[in-house]
Structure 1
Amino acid sequence: MKKKAYPEQVRTALHQAIRSITADLPACVKRPGQDFSRERKLSLHTMLLMLVGMGGNSLSKELYDWLGYSSETATASAFVQQRDKIRPEALKLLFHEFTRL
């Protein structure tokens, strides 16, 4: 089996860490049972991935880069509303889980 390149290993570890912490949804969101309970364009997994990996562009440009240039792409306002549902401790958990892997 071919060994993965280092960037691919990091990407895999990040996705694994996000899956691990989002499995315990109440630890990640402000209002368990309400926040991220429905299928949205910006899932908790996507939000965490974007928060960690965003560059220095405007929020709208980052959304287009991540989600594609489409009329169906989530708006900057939707991103801010979804981001507000995430507990700050979720990012701390994510970083601890990521460095543990």
Structure 2
Amino acid sequence: MNNYKSLKKQLKFCIKTMNDSSSLFVVDSNKNFTRKRKHLFGSTLFNVLLLESGSLKDEMFKLFGYKLDTPTASSFVQARSKIRPDAFHTLFDMFNERTQKIKCYKGYRK
């Protein structure tokens, strides 16, 4: 369980780092993720990784705690489309780099 928490902490740190320079990873840096809404850059990136195999509507309810003011699946798809695909590559590379430095994960690398 401790390994899970440290991995999650590393992932959140990587997403926070990317969130600080989110204009590099969005389609239109002048418009996308500039206002405060339910789908922010960092949370959208994290939520894409948390999606399971259920319907998108059910996944949104699960992510937002089954509240009545849960954003629609359509709004999530729109927010997801504002993120450039290379953002996920950058997140993957950054996460791998950070976890290679952790002693207990070195055995999983080549």
Q: Structure 1-normalised TM-score? A: 0.92
1:99 maps to which of 90, 96, 99: 96
Superimposed CA distance per residue, residues 18-65 of structure 1 (whole angstroms, 9 cap, x where no aligned partner) = 011121122110000210001111111111111112111110111111
Q: Where has structure 1 moved over 6 Å in runs of 4 or more? A: none
- 1:68: Cα distance to partner? 1.2
Q: How does 1:1-101 map to 2 (within 5 A)?
A: 5-101=2-98
What CA distance in whole angstroms lies between the structure 1 residues aligned with 2:65 and 2:48?
A: 17
Q: Which has the higher contact order (CA 8 A, sep 6+)?
A: 1
Q: Given the two structures, how large is their TM-score scaled by the length of structure 2?
A: 0.85
Note if contact 2:22-2:41 (Cα within 8 Å) is conserved in structure 1. no
Q: Aligned partners of 2:21, 2:38: CA distance in 1, in Å? A: 20
Give unpaired runs (5+ residues) of structure 2.
Answer: 99-110
Pair member with larger Rg: 2
Number of residue pairs matched by the alignment:
98
CA RMSD of aligned residues (A): 1.1
Aligned residue type for 2:38? K
After TM superposition, the structure 1 stretch with the greater mean CA deviation from structure 2, 67-76 or 19-28, is 19-28
Per-residue deviation at 1:84? 0.9
Amino acid at match of 2:48: L
